[in-house]
Every structure is written in C-alpha cells, then in structure tokens.
Amino acid sequence: MEKCKECGENLAGRLGQKFCSVYCKSSFHYKNYKLNQPSTYVKIDNQLKCNRRILKSYNISGQSQIKTKILIEEGFDFNYFTHIWTAKNGNLYYFCYEFGFRNLNDGKYMLIMWQDYMK
C-alpha cells in the first residue's frame, strides 16, 4: 500500500496518488520550495534589509562617519541600494530606504538619513 509523501499515512483512492490531502500536498511543496535556493528577488530583498539594518545601527545621530572595513565585516554590500540622491554640491548619496551613505574616499563612509528637502 502506498503512503503519503508528507505524513506517511496510507493512501486510499486512485492509483498514482502521492498525498492523502490537499494540506499534505501543499505542505510538501512548501518545504521543498524553502529548501531550494531562494529566488533573485528574495536574495536582493534580504541584502537590502541587511544593508538597512547595518546603516541604522551605526547612524544613531542622523549623520556620522564609519570605516569601510567595519561595514564590510558586518556584511554590507555596496552594490545594493534603493535609490540615489545628488546633493547641490554634486555629491552622490546612495540610500537603503531612509538610510544613506556616501564614499569619502579616505577609507570612510558618511552616513545620513533621508530628509524632506531631498525630494
């Protein structure tokens, strides 16, 4: 007698049946999906969230500086950001949601928070 691939119960019904219920079928496929590599969207979203968390933790005052080495050690990836803002003086700021960063070219980054005037 065949058994359910998810819960192991005996199957009753048509030949070739693999699951005892819709719940077991859904549960089995959900677990397999979670075990497989995450999609590109999930990878990007996770890195953006990681970048935001790091920027938030080091930018308590609203504007600060931090060494590049520290950001990298925390898992920050400079290739992932949500948008760019150009200041009047031409400086480019890259943002992960409301937290921004700018390379100071001396081994440090300037961290800022999004302000209403930046629209």
Closest by CA position to 59, among listed 43, 74, 39: 74
Task: Note the pLDDT of residue 1.
Answer: 73
CB 54 within 8 A of CB 47: no
Q: CA-to-CA distance for 117 and 63, rounded, in angstroms?
A: 15
Report the alpha-carbon distance of residue 80 to residue 50 in Å, rounded: 10
- The average pLDDT across 35-57 equals 89
Q: Residue 107: which pLDDT band, with cuts at 50, 70 and 90? A: very high
Q: What share of the chain is helix, strand, coil (3-state, %, to 5)?
A: 35, 25, 40
Amino acid at 7: C
Q: Is 10 helix (H, G, I), strand (E, B) or coil?
A: strand
Torsion (CA) 64, 47, 49, 117 in degrees, nearest 10: 50
Its pTM surpasses 0.75: no
- Predicted confidence (pLDDT) per residue in 54-99, tens digit: 999 999 888 999 999 999 999 999 999 999 999 999 999 999 999 9
Specify the pLDDT at position 44. Answer: 94
